Structure 1
Amino acid sequence: MASSGLLRIGLLGRSVVKSRSMSPIIRGDFPGGPGTSMPFQTKNKLVLMLTLGLAFGGTFSIPFLAVEFQLKKQSGDFN
């Protein structure tokens, strides 16, 4: 019976330590404040707008360019 109680205390202790060590990660507390964990800078709004516009606009246009290429290739108008 005594070993069962010690086992429970050990498991409880591990879960408390694990939850305390994971809480900054779960809350999103990164050193340096918000925006430091991003792969791009957020301070300059114009550069951010151009970067995101180019990234999203470029990836959004890929299917349309692929369809245009396939239609030109099918009609034989591809030079």
Structure 2
Amino acid sequence: MLANRLALATRSFMTSAVRRGGDGGVPGSNLPFQIQNRFRLTAVFVVFFGSGLAVPFILVRHQLLKK
């Protein structure tokens, strides 16, 4: 009995929170970058992940070239 009421209250809270969402559920509207331009998105991903992958190699090279 109590579990049913709790489930109902939780379900109604979740649906009301979704309804108050604002933007209507447009895909990508809550992301911090734009996904409309495929080529720009690819370039941003390559720079972001490529820089993270390159940092250890650059640091090792710097340490090996230090005198």
The reply to whether residue 58 of structure 1 matches residue 51 of structure 2 is yes
RMSD: 2.4
Deviation at 1:19, TM superposition (A): 3.2
Please state whether the residue corresponding to 1:31 is helix, strand or coil. Answer: coil
The equivalences for 1:61-72 within 5 A come to 61-72=54-65
TM-score of the two chains, using structure 1 as the length reference: 0.61
Runs of 5+ unmatched residues, structure 1: 1-7
Identity %: 27
Deviation at 1:15, TM superposition (A): 2.3
Query: Using the alignment, how far apart are the partners of 2:57 and 2:12 within structure 1?
Result: 49
TM-score of the two chains, using structure 2 as the length reference: 0.69
Q: Which has the larger radius of gyration?
A: 1
Give the number of equivalent residue pairs.
Answer: 62
Q: Which residue of 2 aligns with 1:32?
A: 25
Please state whether the residue corresponding to 1:35 is helix, strand or coil. Answer: coil
Runs of 5+ unmatched residues, structure 2: none
